[in-house]
Each structure stands twice: as structure tokens, then as C-alpha cells.
Amino acid sequence: MAEKRMSRWYFGGIASCGAACCTHPLDLLKVHLQTQQEVKMRMVGMAMHVVKNDGVLALYNGLSASLCRQMSYSLTRFAIYETVRDMMGSGGQGPMPFYQKVLLGAFGGFTGGFIGTPADMVNVRMQNDMKPFWISSNHLEVFECLSEHVFLSEGTRKLFSGATMASSRGALVTVGQLACYDQAKQLVLGTGLMGDNILTHFLSSFIAGGCATFLCQPLDVIKTRLMNSKGEYRGVIHCLTETAKLGPLAFYKGLVPAGIRLIPHTVLTFVFLEQLKKYFGIRVLS
């Protein structure tokens, strides 16, 4: 009997944190581009603007909030998806059909998106401070921002500002990432041309990152605007209509940096996840 390794429920959160540490500057630039009222800068120009005004380390504004988000949002969605998938696959019935992966990914992503909304909202605000993280007078640290600047000043409801969009985006991203990664990996291995190695993981995760970027970009723009608002939007519909006034392309503002950030983040997450599974996963006989 052959031995294989299964992922532990928390590996997804750890892998996502590792990927976030590598791609955080791209995420920060994406937030700045999406919150421009008018398109004045592109990605390179925005990067030069941030570094020139606030220094290189300003590219890591909000890193603590980003890690907190990964340990709430990503840990939850990976735990739900992989736990249920492995339970259903342990009966010897083979891989789940793609439609079941999509449904499971949507449920796990929606749940994770809701749980991770407070950290996601703080992440957007800290990234948009445009001050180095060690001297920011508005959002010094993630827990200070959550407790003092949001919870006490703006109330509990503000912690879940944009929860609908965050949950919807979480569902789409998880379908694009986890479901499409599993399916792409299954198809690649099914050709018999490649083994279960890092090249297969890279190719499958690259495809998954592209799918996730395509699916979630419009919702990502709306979610970012809602979370960064100071009361100018009455709700999701009002934000949609105001954004639509800027033209249809406004829903795809920051598409290139979103893809440049999300695809490497997806690739790194799954490469890290597969390595964690390989060396520290649960041993099972198949």
C-alpha cells in the first residue's frame, strides 16, 4: 500500500501568511489604485509615489492586519474546504466532481470572508494610511485599530462594513483558487506527463490564480471602496451606482496589479501548502 500525506486543517492559514509576506507590497498598491477617485497613477507610478513620500518600508503598511486577515479568512476557508474534501474522498470514491468542488469552495469562501471581514477592513485602512507603519498616528497596530479606532469610535457594525461584498468575494476567490487548483492539478496529473511535484503545483496554482482574478475583480473594487468609506456610501447598491458613474472600466480598476498580486499569492500559497503537506502532513495509506 502506498503512503500519502493529507493536509492539516491549519496549513492553509500558515501557507497564506507566508505568501502574504511576499506579496504584501503588491496588495498595498492595489488598494491605493482602487481607492483613487480619478485615475491619476498606474502601478509603477503609485509605487514610486509611496516610496518617495514615505520610504521603502511604507510598502509594508498594514502587514500585521494582512497576517491577521489570513489567519481568520484564509484559515477558515482552507479548513472547511480541505476537511470536507478529504472526508468525502476517504471513502474510496475518488476525487469529487468539479461542481461539488465549486459548491464547497463557495461555501467555505463565503464563511471565511464573513469571519475575516473585521481584519480585512482594518487591512484596507492601514494600507491606505500612506504613513510608515511605525509612526502612523491613525492605525498604529491592527488590534489598536480594531479596538480603539473602529470598535469604540464607530461601533460594532463598522467592523463588518462591507461584509456582504467580502463574503461574496471570498466565495468567488475560493472557487477560483481551491476548486480550480484541485481540478487543474487533477487534469495535469491525469495526462501522465507530469508527477505530483513542484512544477505541477506551480502550473496548477498559476491557472487557479488567473481564474480567481477574473472572477472576483469587480467585487474586489466595490468591497475596497465600502471598507475605505467614511460614510459617503449608503450601502452596496449606492456604491455600485456611484462606481458605475465612472464608467464600466471602473469595476476593473487595478485589474493588472490585482492579477500581478493575486496570481503570485496563489502560486506561493499552494507551493507552501504542498511543502507543508509533504513534510508535516498526516500520513495515510492508500
Nearest to 115 by CA among 173, 71, 63: 71
Residue-wise pLDDT tens digits, 226-258: 767 777 888 778 888 888 888 888 888 777 777
- Stretches where the chain sits below pLDDT 50 are 130-140, 148
Q: What is the pLDDT of residue 140?
A: 47
Which pLDDT score is estimated for 132?
Answer: 42
pTM as predicted: 0.79
Supply the pLDDT for residue 134: 36
Q: What is the pLDDT of residues 6-50, one digit of tens each?
A: 889 999 999 999 999 998 888 788 777 766 666 567 778 888 888
Q: How many CB atoms lie within 10 A of CB 198?
A: 11
CA 153, 55, 119, 32 torsion: positive or negative? Answer: positive
**CATH number of the 3-285 domain:** 1.50.40.10
Instruction: Report pLDDT for 37.
Output: 60
CB-based contact 29:248 (threshold 8 Å)? no
